[in-house]
Amino acid sequence: MQFSSIKEKVRRYTGIILDSLLIQAGALCGFYGLIVSIYLILHVVIGERWFIISALNNGAHLITMFCVPAFLVTLIVKRYRFPWTLYLIPGTLAFLIWHGGEFLPKANIAADPDAIEFTVMTYNIAESYTALSAVANDTFNADIVGLQEVPRRMTGLNSFSERGGNAIYTPYPVASEIPEAIYRVGNSNAISAVKIEIKIEGHLVSVYSLHNFRPTLTLRPFSYVTSPRSDDTKALVEAVANDPNPVIVFCDCNFSDQTDDYKLMASQPKDAWKEMGLGLGLTANAPAGGPGFPFLLLRSDYIWHSDEFETLSIEVLPTELSDHYPVRARLRLRS
């Protein structure tokens, strides 16, 4: 009898403790949802005119992504469920609207025997000669490769066109002997992109490789500076808008898809990942001794193309040769 009484007390106190923990977890989730809701309001009303929003926009996918499991936690809590769940609805909806489509399977594109298909890849190799050699040896099976952060010395490597740390590798015939440099808006000494023209089965195609300036966070004074990145983006968008050829752009863009610079970029070429990618397409890798969370949860590397192309498939390749993963896509030049 005494033993049964002890068991009952243990069960009752355990239930009280678990209930208390759930209530606290629900409260924390609800508070997080409230903060995210405030951010979303400022995101719409003020935008990147305030540098705090500019900084948060770079991680908007992370900020809203955590609302989804938090929303599920609040559904488990019986007491005080309504206000906590309500606070998390805006963030959950924002994530589903912005990224929900990236988790849905994509329909197969019908075959076109008259179209030209080829494989492209973008890769920030972080000045790794090992990664550079892998590209040169066709390890990744790509017909056109856009590189960023290439080593300064590229001796002995053919079919590379390099300017300002950006390079393009391709066995296709190059129509322009000297690669063209795209300069940052307002700074004729800063090369933000390299451009070449190649011939793909008789079609002249312009190919760009771009490495946007990384935003800088300063503490004195406290600010988040994105203007050099914006100037790089504007220079590229202007070049693409005036380009008479079909265009492919490889980019370590240093922005997420909720920034103003992304929206400016997307006004010209199309984001191949948004067309056929599955998942968030995170491209940051953390080698030994490198940065970890939240760096690992970023999509910084993009493949863009003009309307003359369509994306058949795209994937992030989990190779460990750099602090970025390469992104490889299969494109089709419409007939």
- State pLDDT tens for residues 169-179: 998 998 876 78
Cβ contacts of residue 157 below 8 Å, gap of 6+? 132, 136
Instruction: Name which residue leads in pLDDT, 194 or 111.
Output: 194
pLDDT tens sequence across 262-273: 999 998 889 999
Q: In what order do the strands lie in the sheet with 191-200?
A: 180-183, 191-200, 203-211, 247-252, 301-305, 270-271
**pLDDT, average across residues 254-261:** 92
Query: What pLDDT does 76 receive?
Result: 74
Against a cut of 0.85, is the pTM above it? Answer: yes
What is the structure's pLDDT at 288? Answer: 44
**Euclidean distance between the first and the last CA atom of the chain, given in angstroms as a whole number:** 85
Give the length of the chain. 335
Task: Report which of 47, 93, 104, 36 is spatially closest to residue 264, judged by C-alpha positions.
Answer: 47
Please state, in angstroms and rounded to a whole number, the distance separating the CA atoms of residues 297 and 99.
Answer: 14
Question: φ and ψ at 104, to 5 degrees?
Answer: -95, 140
Least confident residue range of 148-157, 207-216, 304-313: 148-157
Band (188; pLDDT cuts 50, 70, 90): confident
Structure tokens given for 215: 């935003």
* Span 279-334, pLDDT tens digits: 999 898 865 444 554 556 788 999 999 999 999 999 999 888 888 999 999 999 98
- Listed residue (290, 274, 285) closest to 102, CA to CA: 274
The average pLDDT across 215-236 equals: 87
282-292 b/e (C-beta count within 10 Å ≥ 16 → b): bbbbeeeeeee
Question: pLDDT at position 7, please?
Answer: 61
ω into 294 cis (within 30 of 0) = yes
Fold of 116-333: Deoxyribonuclease I; Chain A (3.60.10)
User: Which pLDDT belongs to residue 268?
Assistant: 83
Q: How far apart are CA 210 and CA 304, in angstroms?
A: 11
Helix axes 81-99, 2-45, angle to 10 degrees: 50
Q: Rounded distance, CA 284 to CA 282, Å?
A: 6
- Going by pLDDT thresholds of 50, 70 and 90, the confidence category of residue 2 is low
| Domain coordinates in residue numbering, the chain | 2-103, 116-333
